[in-house]
Amino acid sequence: MKKLILTLIITIYAVAAVDFATPKPSFENPRRWLIRVNSSETTKVNHILNAVNNVLKGYPEEALHVELIFYANGIRVARKDYDKQILKRIRSLMVYDNIEFLVCKNTMDTMGWNKKMFISGVRYVQIGIAEAIERVADGWIDVSPY
């Protein structure tokens, strides 16, 4: 009985509607969420990907844009030789038109890495931190889930 009640509570919580602030997110006025990824620790990366998946459940796809900027040690996450399960999760998010993955070229150059070492579908920016600064200046919401 306790399991049934717990399951019902979790189900209700999982499908509960988000109480959107005004103006409500829409196609014309989507929420824009910036996530800075500067660590390649699998626990942190999985937590970030969990948060993205959870947030996607609360917003219509056209009302949310998400950009993950990989810089510093975080660019390891976008390499082809990174954790296979996490790369599978990232690729599953790449099917969404409203999610982008950006990789810092300055960090790539510092590490001596090239684009062939990274998964397809990422976009490259010269300075990851500068991209983050500009997104915030443009009104993006900078909330790191970890």
Instruction: Delineate the domains of the chain, giving CATH numbers in brackets.
Output: 22-142 (3.40.1260.10)
Cα 115-116-121 angle, rounded to 5 deg: 70
- Neighbouring residues of 22: CB distance < 8 A, sequence distance ≥ 6: none
pLDDT range class, residue 71, cuts 50, 70, 90: very high
What pLDDT, in 10s, does the model give residues 4-51? 454 444 544 444 567 787 877 788 888 999 999 999 999 999 999 999
Mean pLDDT of the chain: 89
Regarding pTM above 0.75, the answer is yes
Report whether 38 contacts 78 (CB < 8 A): no
Rounded to whole angstroms, the Cα distance separating 6 from 140 reads 36
What pLDDT, in 10s, does the model give residues 122-131? 999 999 999 9
What pLDDT, in 10s, does the model give residues 56-65? 999 998 999 9
